[in-house]
Amino acid sequence: MLLLPLIDTLKIMEKTKRILWVDDEIDMLRPHIRILEQKGYEVETATNGDDAIELVRVKHFDLVFLDEMMPGIGGLQTLGALKDLKPSLPIVMVTKNEAESLMEEAIGGKITDYLTKPVNPSQILLACKKIFESKQIGDKHVSRNYVEEFQAISSVLYNPLNQKEWIDIYKKMTEWDMELDAHADLGLRQTLLDQRREANAKFAKYVESSYRKWIEQPNREIALSPDVAGRFVFPEINASTSLFFIVVDCLRYDQWLVMEQMLSEYFTFEKNFYFSILPTATPYSRNAIFSGLFPSELQKRFPEIWQDGEDDESSRNRNEHELLNRLLERKYTKSKVEARYVKILDAEFGKQIESNILSYLPNRLTAIVVNFIDMLAHGRSDSPLLKEIAPDEAAYRTLTRSWFQHSSLFGMLKTLSRQRNVKIILTTDHGSVRCLRGAKVLGDREASANLRFKYGRNLKVDEKNAFIMKNPSEYNLPKDSVTTNYIIAKEDYYFVYPTEYHKYLNYYRDSFQHGGISLEEMILPIVKMEPK
């Protein structure tokens, strides 16, 4: 894979920047003004606030240097008037007064920068460079660093990798994906997407060859879904702490990073990762979290729960509360603990829980499942409007940010951040992948309807596109008959039957799905949060 040339994307033709400098002692600043003009800036001056306001009213300026102490209307009043005229106009306040109250008042007036007299030419030039060239400088810096990182990841992908190394690669690619959100004009997005596709192809081969070893290991170095509660949740239970275990269905690492940015004001974070079991779908992966069991073990130990989902797979998650308490009985032997459990399926119920979240503090363990992200992923598949709002990964993250900002989950977390002796373990059961390629599958009418995995009798698909599990019991999956097999989609493929193939190929193309093998679906964050 070749990296596209970057030089052309960094050549930005700009017109001369116009600066207005407002100071009642402007003659003393002539040397500074000459230096700015020598650097290519066009500078106009004013000696009082009234003249400055009139100049901004009738002319265009790219930046204003504004003295705080002037005869007539002062700098702060002038600042307010200028912002009323041009809200986006950058204004740098220049003052002799170092009082904190003045700084706060100026910042509240939305100044861009703040300089204390006497100013020197380097300070002035730095302020101009920050305002006029920060994006261009940032673009160059990002481009240079990304080229180095791209080459490093590409070389690593040719080597055999273990689970920790795959986590590291996924973290780096995801963090770069988000970095490029702020530098969309560089034209690097497609390069990163191509590298992610290459990584997912190699990751799928790795999972196919390693998965049985993982599930057979008694003491796994990297946790799988059944290990989550015992390894990350139960050790945090104690008599003096209210522990909240929050599972956000279908949350990817990039979506967690969006949430983390908004939560960093309230919490400290200790971040780990684990791997989802296969299929990466709620009836399998989330039941594994709450039961501590692989699906075949769950079927044997709780056959009535597994049978509940024979006609409707979603019903297999109706018993998570019971499964969690049974797991506590088996694995948490320090003392008797019963968990409270809440599942938030709609905004109205979420607001009720948000209003009453403090009533859960007396409990040593409260489990909360939040389903919105999963509903968003499914809803985008069926809604042209949501596809229009979130046409790609970056927009999908933006939609996640908008939801979280106004969600009951954010409200609950902010309330809990103000309490003492509270800990939160937040994770997810699986992620999702943007599906762009169809894979033709053959099977009978009784086969499951999922797009990223299927089970049924004698299912057939090209093994380049799917992991074929001919004997499900070898993978700790239930087996209903001798001929039952599972197929798990790799990379960004989704399954389509030959009947009306092109109709469903086009209908589900570019949808976010889960159940298969990809970095986005399998490598999942698990975060311990404590109030600051």
| Sequential DSSP letters for 207-250 | HHHHHHHHHH-SS-SS-BGGGHIIIIIGGG--TT-EEEEEEETT
Q: What secondary structure letter does DSSP report for 380?
A: H
Q: Is residue 1 part of a domain?
A: no
Which of the listed residues 190, 213, 236 is the one where a domain comes to its end? 213
Q: Are residues 379 and 242 in the same domain?
A: yes
CB 250 within 8 A of CB 380: no
Which residue among 83, 99, 130 closes a domain? 130
* Count of structural domains within the chain: 4
Map residue 510 onto helix, strand or coil. coil
Task: Report the SS3 class of residue 367.
Answer: strand
Residue 11 has a pLDDT of 41
pLDDT of 314: 57
Residues 234 and 365 in one domain: yes
The dihedrals phi and psi of 25, each to the nearest 5 degrees, come to -115, 45
Count Cα neighbours of 464 within 13 Å in the Cβ-side half-sphere.
4
Q: Does residue 169 contact residue 199 with C-beta atoms inside 8 Å?
A: yes
> Residue 398: CB partners within 8 Å, gap ≥ 6?
390
Tell me: do 240 and 364 sit in the same domain: yes
Does residue 380 form part of some domain? yes
With residues binned 3-state (H G I as helix, E B as strand, rest as coil), the percentages for the chain, rounded to 5, are: 50, 20, 30
- Name the phi and psi angles at 330, rounded to 5: -80, -40
Is 281 within 8 Å of 514 (Cβ atoms)? yes
Residue 374 lies in a domain: yes
What does the DSSP assignment read for 400-430? HHHHHHTSHHHHHHHHHHTSSSEEEEEE-S-
- What pLDDT was estimated at residue 102? 59
In a domain, residue 218? The reply is no
Question: Are 231 and 328 contained in the same domain?
Answer: yes
- CATH code: domain of residue 78: 3.40.50.2300
pLDDT along the chain (532 residues), means of 10: 42 70 91 92 94 94 92 89 91 78 64 85 88 75 79 90 97 90 78 92 97 94 97 94 97 97 96 98 95 94 73 70 94 85 94 96 96 87 84 91 96 96 97 96 85 92 96 90 85 94 92 96 98 95
Tokens of 87: 């809200």
Please, what's the b/e burial string for 322-349 (b: 16 or more CB within 10 A of its CB; e: otherwise)? ebbbbbbeeebeeeebebbbbbbeeeee
Same structural domain, 426 and 438: no
Q: What angle do CA 493, 497, 502 make, to 5 degrees?
A: 80
Based on DSSP, count helices (H) and strands (E) in the chain, helices before strands: 21, 19
Check whether the bond before 118 is cis (ω within 30° of 0). Answer: yes
| pTM for this predicted structure | 0.82
What is the residue whose two structure tokens read 């910042």?
Answer: 107
**Does some domain include residue 4?**
no
Q: Which two tokens stand for residue 252?
A: 């990817």
Cβ proximity of 60 and 18 under 8 Å = yes
Residue tagged 């990379």 (tokens) = 491
Domain boundary among 89, 112, 130: 130
**Are both 300 and 152 inside the same structural domain?**
no
Q: What element of type H or E holds 18?
A: strand 18-22
DSSP symbol at 17 = P
- For residue 74, what are the domain limits? 9-130
Q: Are residues 60 and 82 in the same domain?
A: yes
From CA 527, how far away is CA 273, in angstroms rounded?
Answer: 8
User: Is 409 within the bounds of a domain?
Assistant: yes
Q: Does residue 389 belong to any structural domain of this protein?
A: yes
Verify that 149 and 103 share a domain, yes or no.
no
- Do residues 447 and 367 share a domain? no
Partners of residue 93 on adjacent β-strands = 66, 114
Q: Domain check: are 195 and 244 in the same one?
A: no
pLDDT at 97: 72
Q: Is the residue at 509 inside a domain? A: yes
On whether both 144 and 240 belong to a single domain, the answer is no
**Is the same domain home to 400 and 282?**
yes
The strand ranges marked E within 428-502 are: 433-435, 437-442, 453-457, 460-461, 466-469, 484-489, 493-496
- Residues 6 or more apart whose CB falls under 8 angstroms from that of 13 comprise none
